[in-house]
Amino acid sequence: MRRLCLALCLVLAASAAPALTPAEMLDDPALEARARSLSRELRCMVCQNQSIDDSDAPLARDLRVLVRERLAAGDSDQQVKDFLVARYGTFVLLRPPVTWRTALLWAAPVLLAGGGLVALLVSLRRRRRGAPEEIAAEPPLTAQERAKVSQVLRGPEA
């Protein structure tokens, strides 16, 4: 049982390990910390919902190297982000900014939930009121209407 638990822990630890290789790391610890921080904010264009820090994809590795090259050249964190956004669009950011282009994307969950709540309330209100008068049961037939129906059902021979 202990071996199984140990094996499970090792598998989980290996799957949570970052994809960064020692060859990619910078010598300066402060610069490396900035690079790691930036890498956690950038989306892997192959994996799409993983940061480039966590992805094993070749493109993610290239982006990690590019981030470190730009930082080593003296770019600020914002300049690195701007460079990558100019190259790949805002999709490269794991947390894209709220702009007029993305406003609907950010507001869609709230709008959908609000619309569903309004529809639910309208439906419940209609059920409480019961059937509208137009749909209420029709009154019984008069004697004259019953005679006409029986004549139609008997056919033209009668």
Question: Could you tell me the domains of the chain?
Answer: 2-92 (1.10.8.640), 103-154 (no CATH)
User: pLDDT band at residue 128, thresholds of 50, 70 and 90?
Assistant: confident
Task: Give the range among 45-49, 107-111, 145-149 with minimum mean pLDDT.
Answer: 45-49
pLDDT band at 55 (very low <50, low <70, confident <90, very high): confident
Most confident of 10-14, 54-58, 132-136: 54-58
- pLDDT of 24 reads 67
Confidence of residue 86 (pLDDT cuts 50, 70, 90): very high
Neighbours of 110 (CB within 10 A): 9
Mean pLDDT of 26-30: 76
* Model confidence at 156: pLDDT above 70: yes
The number of C-alpha atoms within 13 Å of 38 and in the hemisphere containing its C-beta is 27
Write the burial class of residue 50 (CB in 10 Å: 0-12 exposed, 13-18 middle, 19+ buried).
Answer: middle
Q: How many CB atoms lie within 10 A of CB 31?
A: 14
pLDDT for position 54: 87
Pairwise CA distance, residues 77 & 67, whole Å: 9
**Alpha carbon 16 to chain centroid, angstroms:** 23
Mean pLDDT of the 148-157 span: 85
More reliable by pLDDT, 135 or 78: 78
- Region 123-131: mean pLDDT is 81
Q: How far is CA 135 from the centre of its chain?
A: 42
- What average pLDDT does the segment 48-64 reach? 88
How many angstroms separate the Cα of 32 from the Cα of each of 16, 25, 113? 20, 7, 42
In this prediction, residue 16 carries a pLDDT of 46
Give the pLDDT of residue 2.
61
Averaged pLDDT for residues 30-57: 88
